[in-house]
Amino acid sequence: MARSALLNVMVQAALKAGKSLGRDFGEVQNLQVSVKGPGDFVSAADRKAEKIVREELMKARPTYGFLGEESEEIKGTDGAHRWIVDPLDGTTNFLHGIPAFAVSIALERNGEIVAAVVFNPATDELYTAERGGGAFLNDRRLRVAARRVLSDCVIGCGVPALGKRNHGKFLVELRHVMGEVAGIRRLGAPTLDLAHVAAGRFDGFWEAELAPWDMAAGILLIREAGGFATDWDGGTAILEGGAIVAGNEHVHKALIEVIKRPIPAK
């Protein structure tokens, strides 16, 4: 696959940060860990990975803005471009030695995601996409799964962590979806969940209370793989609202209907 100069910059930043994470993952029990909040841990590896990504991207495009999980937002001087970065999505997995974590980088241009990279150093899987150019896993072109009926589908989701709101609401959603599908999966890294939808491994995905860096790259991967990614009303204000539902045309529509099903009266 041919990559633009910008996508190559993003790939190199992700690979460099991933190499650093891979070394730390091999010595995970020796990491210095601090507590950022209930159920939400941040490690020295996380901060180091963001520094690597930020330096690589800003060196290549110094006028672009930068929004990352572990640092204050940098406003760009060109006013049109912004990097959206999660240097270590799946931190809790990482700290427990579970090989489901990723570096996620998206490029936003005038409010639209135009390029995306998701890299899992533990599996050496590199997902890339550019608007209008398709989505790829390493060098293989991706398409979302073709299943049309929920009862045939495996659906990914996010589970609210300790300290998050709406545990009860999620349990109602989960009960409704479980009654309609073949299986539910929860990886603990939404960027990888969304990449799995783009790759056809998951038929769909839903989650709320996400940050822009949790979703930005995955949104473009899914759309460039022929799928749909919207907010829960079918709109495009995903990054602003923090809620996403994704799948092919049929699964996406059916999943919205199920997760928005009213809570039964007692």
Give binding residues for Mg(2+) as ranges: 69, 86, 88-89, 214
* Cβ–Cβ under 8 Å, residues 229 and 222: yes
- Which contiguous run of DSSP H or E holds residue 168? helix 167-178
Could you tell me the strand order of the sheet in which 204-207 lies? 183-185, 154-157, 204-207, 244-247, 228-230
102-109 and 112-120 as β-strands: parallel, antiparallel, unpaired? antiparallel
Structure tokens, 95: 């700290």
Identify each DSSP E strand in 142-214 by its residue range: 154-157, 183-185, 204-207
Q: Which residues contact 125 (CB under 8 A, 6 or more apart)?
A: 119, 137, 138, 195
| Cα 10-16-17 angle, rounded to 5 deg | 90
CA–CA distances in Å: residue 28 to residues 78, 120, 177: 39, 16, 35
Residue ranges of the annotated binding site are: 69, 86, 88-89, 214
- Counting every residue written for the chain, the total comes to 266
